[in-house]
Amino acid sequence: MWDRHLLNCAVVAELIDPSARTLVDIGSGAGLPGVVLAMLRPELSVTLLEPMERRCRFLSDCVAELGLSNASVLRGRAEDTVLRADVATARAVAPLDRLAELAVRLVRPGGMVLAIKGHTAADELKKAKPVLRRLGVRSAEIVRAGQGKVVPATTVVRFFAR
């Protein structure tokens, strides 16, 4: 639980620019990485975006229990949400080509998307190239977060919206 889920998400905080003020976690589910990032980066306003009511209740309970005044839960689907954050995160939501379509809509121009992907990252990035090109995404790359802190380091596809 700690290594595979919580610490794996915690190290993603090092990829978020200190100047970022808003973050949306797409398909928050159990709150990974959104709740963890809200704990580690209290200066960020974190929106936990989740379509399922049951999960929203769970997330709201977590936010309240942990006293996370910088986190809020929004029930909705990414494709129906009007929101513009500095950073969008996602973990186990959709293949990168589909996720990119959702995420780019939720970040401001120049905003960053961080998709935690694991061992499928290279294949997903290769497959998503045409979609990323069409969306005007720049600097799509695979980065490793937490080198020397978690084993294995967290594999993230990072890109910026136009």
- What CATH number is attached to the domain comprising 134? 3.40.50.150
What tens digit of pLDDT does each residue of 8-39 get? 999 999 999 999 999 999 999 999 999 999 99
At residue 128 the predicted structure's pLDDT band, cuts being 50, 70 and 90, is: very high
Closest CA to 121 of 150, 153, 87, 160: 153
Q: Provide φ and ψ at 33, rounded to 5°.
A: -95, 0
How many domains are contained in the chain?
Answer: 1
What tens digit of pLDDT does each residue of 67-100 get? 999 999 999 999 999 999 999 999 989 999 999 9
> What average pLDDT does this structure show over 120-148?
97
- DSSP collapsed to 3 states, the chain: CHHHHHHHHHHHHHHCCCCCCEEEEECCCCCCCHHHHHHHCCCCEEEEEECCHHHHHHHHHHHHHHCCCCEEEEECCHHHCCCCEEEEEEECCCCHHHHHHHHHHHEEEEEEEEEECHHHHHHHHHHHHHHHHHHCCEEEEEEEECCCCCCCCEEEEEEECC
Range of the domain at 20: 2-160
> Above 70 in pLDDT, residue 3?
no
pTM passes above 0.75: yes
Q: Are 103 and 135 in contact (CB under 8 A)?
A: no
What's the token pair of residue 119? 């061992």
Q: Are 93 and 63 in contact (CB under 8 A)?
A: no
